């Protein structure tokens, strides 16, 4: 009988906008199901973050060693400069 389906849907609180939204969602789901999937191992964001952290830790350790060496060189240069400054101020004694 004409109109029975519409009456039933109104009784259940289902309107044409609901049906249109459900049809749209179904069509999108069908399209998504038909799209090709990427193959292979999926990227794990936690693993990538862990690797990045490890690389940064290694770089930090390397830079600390380099800084220690640079500070040692600077200290030696200061001491050499001081010694050369002292020798420069001393009068030179000639042996006859």
What is the rounded distance in angstroms from the CA atom of residue 70 to the CA atom of residue 66? 6
According to DSSP, residue 1 is labeled: -
Residue 55 falls inside a structural domain: yes
Residue 95 located in a structural domain: no
Are 15 and 9 in contact, with CB atoms under 8 Å apart? yes
What does R_g of the chain's alpha carbons equal in angstroms?
A: 40
Our count of domains for the chain comes to 1
pTM of the model: 0.45
7-58 pLDDT, tens digit per residue, is 888 888 888 888 899 999 999 999 998 888 888 888 888 999 999 999 999 9
- Residue 19: which domain range? 8-34+44-89
């Amino acid at each position: 009988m004409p109109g029975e389906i519409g009456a039933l849907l109104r009784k259940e609180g289902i309107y044409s906008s609901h049906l249109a939204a459900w049809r749209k969602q179904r069509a999108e789901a069908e399209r998504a199901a038909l799209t090709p999937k990427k193959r292979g191992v999926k990227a794990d964001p936690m693993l990538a973050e862990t690797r990045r952290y490890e690389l940064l830790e290694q770089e930090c350790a390397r830079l600390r060693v380099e800084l220690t060496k640079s500070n040692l060189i600077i200290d030696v240069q200061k001491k050499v400069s001081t010694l050369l400054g002292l020798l420069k101020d001393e009068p030179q004694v000639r042996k006859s």
